[in-house]
Amino acid sequence: MTLHSVSESGVDVENCADINWDEIGFSPVPTDFMYVMKCAKGDNFSEGSLVPFGNIEINPFATIINYGQGIFEGLKAYRTEDGHIVLFRPEQNAQRMKMGADRFCMPSPSIDQFINAVKQTALANKRWVPPLGKGSLYIRPLLMGTGASLSVVPAPEYTLVVYCTPVTNYHKGALNLKVESKFYRAISGTGGTGGIKSVTNYAPVYAATTAAKADGFSDVLFLDSATGKNIEEVSACNVFVVKGNSICTPEANGAILPGITRKSIIEIALDLGYQVMERAVSLEEMLDADEVFCTGTAVVVNSVSSVTYKETR
């Protein structure tokens, strides 16, 4: 499991931004720079550049805001004990972006271009990488159709923007999850878009999460849309079920986001001697588990304290 070094030499911790690092939470803090790279339809991305962080101008006919032609990634830069800055498995994000771009008929940056853009963004904003133990720099590469189209066809122009903000974990403490029985996150099976990190996969969870949060739950667990019997994913993270020495997680079958933390946890659990299964996991099985936990870049690894289904825990 590789950590990419971003800084050549130790970064002076004294040069961190002058903010209260104990209060950063998970919300956007404007940092100094973002990276922008453009590409016409049918071309390859070439050189991008760093520009001051700020609003972006967009054509109202752009396909991302009309037809949802957009995908994003999330990855983190951390400070090491000696002050270096490292990235967690950025090549995995680059590959996942390529997969999503193919599905949405967009050109994508090469693996090297993606990693270079992320590194440049992290370095240009190095004073925003939290001191060791205070969180991480969350980096968000967003690939979008920025060319104008009224017809439902791929845009004539694309933009990759990479921006960042310092964060701590997404949720505070263990999760009490509500199982959603009315709405679904993605259609089951391989033909949908649940398995790519598209912008269109996130707003559809708002109705369920808003209602659940109003009832005191931390988040919502979605079931598969075909049978309504198997667990799929929480609004912004993958889920694992532990029983004795075996760990199960829903297989990445096209409806589940193939999370990079998910993949890393599977590798670590196998190394530790657990039996790990990627397969359909029924809600019943989850309710009978010894332990449940969630994984994601934003969430990291978070334990689940309770799961409630139609008021039954």
Spatial distance between the Cα atoms of 178 and 212, rounded to a whole number of angstroms: 7
Stretch 194-223 residues interacting with ligand COI (CB under 6 A): 202
Stretch of residues binding ligand COI (CB under 6 A), selected from 81-89, 100-108, 204-212, 296-304: 296-304
How far apart are CB 204 and ligand COI at their closest, in Å? 12
Buried b (16+ CB within 10 A) or exposed e, 56-67: eeeeeebbbbbb
Stretch of residues binding ligand COI (CB under 6 A), selected from 27-35, 161-169, 262-270, 293-301: 293-301
Of 173, 117, 269, nearest to 108 (Cα)? 117
For ligand COI, the binding residue among 109, 141, 258, 296 (CB under 6 A) is 296
Residue 9 in tokens: 């030499």
How far apart are CB 66 and ligand COI at their closest, in Å? 21
Q: Are 161 and 34 in contact (CB under 8 A)?
A: yes
Stretch 94-153 residues interacting with ligand COI (CB under 6 A): none
Q: Which residue has the tokens 């029985």?
A: 181
Q: Is the dihedral of CA 169, 198, 73, 23 positive or negative?
A: negative
Residue 229 in tokens: 């019997």
152: left (phi over 0), alpha (psi -120 to 50) or beta: beta
Spatial distance between the Cα atoms of 141 and 146, rounded to a whole number of angstroms: 15
For ligand COI, the binding residue among 36, 65, 123, 298 (CB under 6 A) is 298
149 vs 201 by CB, closer to ligand COI: 201
For ligand COI, the binding residue among 108, 209, 218, 297 (CB under 6 A) is 297
- In sequence order, what are the residues at sequence separation of 6 or more whose Cβ sits closer than 8 angstroms to the Cβ of residue 10? 82, 83, 84
For ligand COI, the binding residue among 86, 106, 236, 247 (CB under 6 A) is 236
Stretch 240-269 residues interacting with ligand COI (CB under 6 A): none
How far apart are CB 18 and ligand COI at their closest, in Å? 26
How far apart are CB 262 and ligand COI at their closest, in Å? 10
149 vs 193 by CB, closer to ligand COI: 193
Angle between helices 111-124 and 90-103 (to 10 degrees): 120
Stretch 62-91 residues interacting with ligand COI (CB under 6 A): 74
Q: Is 172 annotated as catalytic?
A: no
**Active-site entry in 41, 182, 197, 310:** 197
In the chain, what is the greatest distance between 2 CA atoms, to the nearest angstrom? 55
Asked whether position 186 contacts ligand COI by CB under 6 A, the answer is: no
Residue 254 in tokens: 């096209």
**Residues with catalytic roles:** 197
Residues making contact with ligand COI (CB under 6 A): 74, 170, 202, 236, 296-298
